[in-house]
Homo-oligomer: A and B are copies of this chain.
Amino acid sequence: MTTVPDEEMFEQPCPIRDVLDRIGNQWSLLILEALAPGTLRFNALMREIGDISKQMLSRTLKQLEQDGFITRTLYPEVPPRVEYTLTPLGRSFLEPMQQLVVWADTHHGAIVAARTRYQALQE
């Protein structure tokens, strides 16, 4: 399973997989959402998200910067000020993501209901 059988060598960058692996995780999505209203500083982001560790915030921000979703601006003051802002690419991603958020909001009730139903069947 580490080595893919020769028959299906789709290890060549499948764009969907590549992108989904990056943004398809709680933190990236949440950070992007937090940045949607506007620029935020590191600690402000942390407060906004609430339960992310510094390390994961730092690491995920670095990834998002690498992939061109956000820019990182360091103002060499003291104490240091670092601002994170969505790039046009990042902002363009907000649209499909909003669809997702709307879907989540709309169908949340159905999901909770499904869970309850499932629970009931378990006894």
State the A residues within 8 Å of B (CB). 1, 4, 8, 10, 13, 15-22, 24-26, 29-30, 33, 50-51, 53, 65-68, 89, 92-93, 95-97, 99-105, 107-108, 110-115, 117-118
What is the CA–CA distance of A21 and B8 in the complex, to the nearest angstrom?
Answer: 31
Question: Which B residues touch A1, using CB under 8 A?
Answer: 51, 53
In the complex, which residues of chain B have a beta carbon less than 8 angstroms from the beta carbon of A105?
Answer: 15-16
Question: Known: A51-B4, A96-B99. Is A65-B118 also a contact (CB below 8 A)?
Answer: yes
Report whether B8 and A104 are in contact in the complex, using a CB–CB cutoff of 8 Å: no
Q: Is the CB of B107 within 8 A of A92?
A: yes
Please give me the 8 A-B residue pairs with the lowest Cβ-Cβ distance, nearest first: A68-B114, A15-B108, A19-B104, A96-B99, A96-B103, A96-B100, A66-B118, A24-B26
CA distance A8 to B115 in the complex (A): 27
Please tell me if the beta carbons of B100 and A114 are within 8 angstroms of each other in the complex: no
Known pairs A96-B96, A100-B100, A107-B89; A20 contacts B29 (CB<8 A)? yes
